[in-house]
Amino acid sequence: MDCKILLLEHPRPSSAAHFNDVANTPLSSGLLSGYIAALLEARGVSVGLHEAYDGSRSFADCATELDQLEFNVLGVNAVYLWEKTGELFSFLKKCKARRQDLAIILYGFFPTFSFREILSQYPFIDCVILGEPEETFADIAASLQRDGRIAFSTIPGLAYRENGKVITSGKRALIEPLDRLPFPERSERFLKTVGGNILASRGCYAQCSFCYINYFYGNGCQWRGRSPDNVAREIEELYPRLPEPAIYFVDANFFGRGSEGRKRAQAIVERIKDWSDLSFGIECRSNDLDEELVAAMVQAGLRQVFLGIESASKASLARMKKGVRADMQAAAVKMLQAHGVEINLGFIMFEPDTALADVRANFDFLKANGLLDGLSRTANVLYHREIALQGTERFKLLQAENRLQKNDPLGYEGSYCFLQEPVQFLADLMDRVCRAVLQKMDINSSPIFWGRESSAAALRLNAYLVYFFEEVLRKLELKELLLTKEERMRWEERALAVVDGLIVSERVCQL
């Protein structure tokens, strides 16, 4: 078979229900197609890479673009699109109808966990790669070139249909060492859209109940790090192509476990110093940071950290299996703030078993540590509830407790009710108010549009959201509110009237 492979990063239309939310797929997933393309090319396989997720193109646009290309194998990094996921499968069905001999292969986090439902409901999908996709896809390409078809049962790491049943071909060993993978392909469009993203490690040494990172690679701790020299060589190759001198490590956890992980991180930082104008960002846990390490990283160019705090409540942290204490969280925040590092906060105000005492601990922590100082962050953390996705321990636990309501036909996302009515009242109220604010922030002409954090309207609105949250929380603690839908709607209407008033007054001042 003349195997013509195209790898697709499909459009990712924005969701009306989710803002700035990467819970549906880790940032690292954006490199999956690039890694596959690089490995195939290294093995002499011709492959095309089509990236259509820069926000400017619809599925219809993408279909028109694909009509101009020659391919008979379509590999797709299938990303869960919340309420718009059906658009992805409608698009793929049309692709199949246009090319009857087309083989469609899905890979990524979403299909890894929903392979049974996907293959059962969508017969035009030929197979799903489970977990780490690079070597499995290379074996698929070799099978097509050798046999003219995909020999499913001989390729570990696949899910497919046989005699009307969905079966798997067995687990594939993880790629070890990661240094043997070639650096991922990146187009100019990719660099312009997402910048210089680098994946220096895979997996995480922790076992948080709300996260599916380790389950994507296999059960248990699956953290693997590339060598500092290998990372430095990728930076060296990438640096001349960067739209600006900045890179971002999209690792779920930049640091490995213990002293060895710390030494490796230090070695990478030492090599980054070779580029004097290069800044970088990382993602990590609070317990990985100390003063000496942070100071050295800042000197080397560290400017932003996505800090996975999640909660300041001892009880919530235990249920999340975070393995950290609230005082560690506060120390990490103060450390980064003292060094002028921008903190992007991973925080879950409401988890399924949250009590009002947990909410109070969270709110007091955020306020005391100056983490409610900007509208985009405040509007996100004050309503953010834990998202239950297939593949997480929390999803399985809620299922076992008969508390999970599936939100989509594939059963990939679930919703739930909180155990305590006052928490449900507050979570639902803040959900409506904060989403309304975030929707207004999406309007370019708005005085609170993203990036206008210092506008008078944004500052006043931020202060009001903090006040409003605390006032409702206080009344709930004192049992002064009726826990009815009508009462919630009254508070919601009052808050939204204030929000609109603050924005209107700012526009009047600008006239």
Residue-averaged pLDDT of the chain: 94
Mean pLDDT of 23-30: 91
Rg (CA), the chain: 24
Mean pLDDT of 240-251: 97
Q: What is the pLDDT of residues 414-449, one digit of tens each?
A: 999 999 999 999 999 999 999 999 999 988 888 898
Please report which confidence band the pLDDT of residue 394 belongs to, taking 50, 70 and 90 as the band edges: very high
Please report which confidence band the pLDDT of residue 21 belongs to, taking 50, 70 and 90 as the band edges: low
Mean pLDDT of 303-318: 97
Please report which confidence band the pLDDT of residue 20 belongs to, taking 50, 70 and 90 as the band edges: low
61-75, 98-112, 214-228, 271-285: lowest mean pLDDT where? 214-228
Q: What residues does each domain of the chain span?
A: 5-168
Q: What is the pLDDT of residues 363-375, one digit of tens each?
A: 999 999 999 999 9
In the block, which residue shows the tokens 């083989």? Answer: 103
**Is the predicted pLDDT of residue 221 greater than 80, yes or no?**
no
Mean pLDDT of 44-58: 91
**Residues near 391 by beta carbon (within 8 Å), at least 6 away in sequence:** 109, 112, 113, 212, 215, 216
Residue of 1, 15, 158, 189 whose CA lies nearest to 75: 158
Q: Give the Å distances, CA to CA, from 48 to 8, 32, 37, 54, 142.
A: 9, 14, 7, 18, 16
User: How far is the C-alpha of 227 from the C-alpha of 358, rounded, in Å?
Assistant: 40
What is the value of pTM for the model shown?
0.95
Mapping DSSP onto H, E and C, the string for 43-75 reads CCCCEEEEECCCCCCCHHHHHHHHCCCCCCEEE
**Is the predicted pLDDT of residue 1 greater than 90, yes or no?**
no
pLDDT of 460: 93
Higher pLDDT, 21 or 185: 185
pLDDT of 222: 78
Helices (H) and strands (E) in the chain, counts: 19, 17
**Is the predicted pLDDT of residue 3 greater than 90, yes or no?**
no
Q: What does the angle CA 112 – CA 114 – CA 118 come to, to the nearest 5 degrees?
A: 110
Mean pLDDT of 304-330: 96
pLDDT of 506: 58
pLDDT of 508: 44
Ranges assigned E (strand) in 224-301 = 224-225, 246-249, 279-284
pLDDT of 511: 41
pLDDT of 228: 98
**Is the predicted pLDDT of residue 498 greater than 70, yes or no?**
yes
CATH superfamily for 5-168 is Response regulator (3.40.50.2300)
Mean pLDDT of 371-397: 95
Please report which confidence band the pLDDT of residue 94 belongs to, taking 50, 70 and 90 as the band edges: very high
**Is the predicted pLDDT of residue 52 greater than 80, yes or no?**
yes
**Is the predicted pLDDT of residue 56 greater than 90, yes or no?**
no
**Is the predicted pLDDT of residue 49 greater than 60, yes or no?**
yes
Helix, strand or coil, per DSSP, at residue 508: helix
**Is the predicted pLDDT of residue 179 greater than 90, yes or no?**
yes
Q: Give the number of other Cβ atoms within 10 Å of residue 222's Cβ.
A: 18
User: How far is the C-alpha of 83 from the C-alpha of 86, rounded, in Å?
Assistant: 7
